[in-house]
Chain A
Amino acid sequence: EVQVVESGGGLVQSGGSLRLSCVASGFSFSTHSMNWVRQAPGKGLEWVSYISSSGSPKYYVDSVKGRFTISRDNAKNSLYLQMNSLRAEDTAVYYCARDAYGYYMDVWGKGTTVTVSS
């Protein structure tokens, strides 16, 4: 079964750090670009970051540039999101999503919840 599973969410104080992980299975992880997408409570979807299959290039939404770092380990079929200097507005469910061989996301995880307390 093709799937991605996120972990690493939790409660953290404002200014703190958290590292999210996403483990892929059932497909050739090393040939797909990957994304992180988040959804604040009661709000819509917001794309956060993209990483190509090889690890470069990487792209970020303006609001997280300089604070978040996306990375991957193809040997471990894993995607990561290192989140530093967290703010209350980063509170959201974070989804890991596979980039299809095109410009859309075709496999989504169930998400992991990040709560930043101020």
Chain B
Amino acid sequence: QSALTQPASVSGSPEQSITISCTGPSRDIGDYHYVSWYQQHPGKAPKLLIYDVSSRPSGVSNRFSGSMYGNTASLTISGLQAEDEADYYCSSYPLTRNLYVFGTGTKVTVL
């Protein structure tokens, strides 16, 4: 099971906006709208940020938003803050394959 493709790193200055992409074949991501995003700080467990492409769980800042076009999902962080420095992973659930696929992960650096 191949991973979804994410950029290895993305950086931005405080208060800027950045976008992380997540791409894969249609059978893994494009045919479904079951994309989720997770944030992971070093040595910590992943935390759910976005589900079903663009929905935000309660308690997650509205600075985090998700979208999707074709076979590419995106996570946008607005008003970048120092605490946003972490690794970010996308995930998809291709219904016909009965498994979760994660992205390769993106390290976000706040300059």
Residues of A with Cβ closer than 8 Å to B? 35, 37, 44-47, 50, 57, 59, 61-62, 95, 97, 100, 102-106, 108-111
Evaluate whether A59 and B99 lie within 8 angstroms (CB atoms) in the complex, with A44-B89, A95-B45, A108-B45 already known.
Answer: yes
Q: Are B46 and A95 in touch, CB under 8 angstroms?
A: yes
Q: Given the complex of chains A and B, what is the CA–CA distance between A106 and B99 in angstroms?
A: 16
Q: How far is the CB of A103 from chain B (nearest CB, A)?
A: 4
Closest to A45 in B: B102
Give residues of chain B (13-72) contacting chain A, Cβ–Cβ below 8 Å.
Answer: 32, 34, 36, 38, 40, 44-48, 51-52, 57
Closest to A35 in B: B100
B105 partner residues in chain A, CB cutoff 8 A: 44-45
Evaluate whether A62 and B1 lie within 8 angstroms (CB atoms) in the complex, with A50-B100, A103-B93, A104-B36 already known.
Answer: yes
Q: How far is the CB of A66 from chain B (nearest CB, A)?
A: 16
- Identify the 4 closest CB pairs spanning chains A and B, nearest first: A103-B93, A103-B34, A104-B36, A47-B100
Q: Given the complex of chains A and B, what is the CA–CA distance between A106 and B34 in angstroms?
A: 13
**B3 on interface, CB distance cutoff 8 Å:** yes
A61 partner residues in chain B, CB cutoff 8 A: 1, 99
**B91 on interface, CB distance cutoff 8 Å:** yes
Q: Given the complex of chains A and B, what is the CA–CA distance between A43 and B1 in angstroms?
A: 16
State which of B45, B89, B99 has its C-beta within 8 Å of the C-beta of A50.
B99
Evaluate whether A104 and B45 lie within 8 angstroms (CB atoms) in the complex, with A44-B3, A45-B89, A47-B100 already known.
Answer: no
Residue of B100, B103, B105 ringed by the most chain A CB atoms within 10 A: B100
B87 partner residues in chain A, CB cutoff 8 A: 44
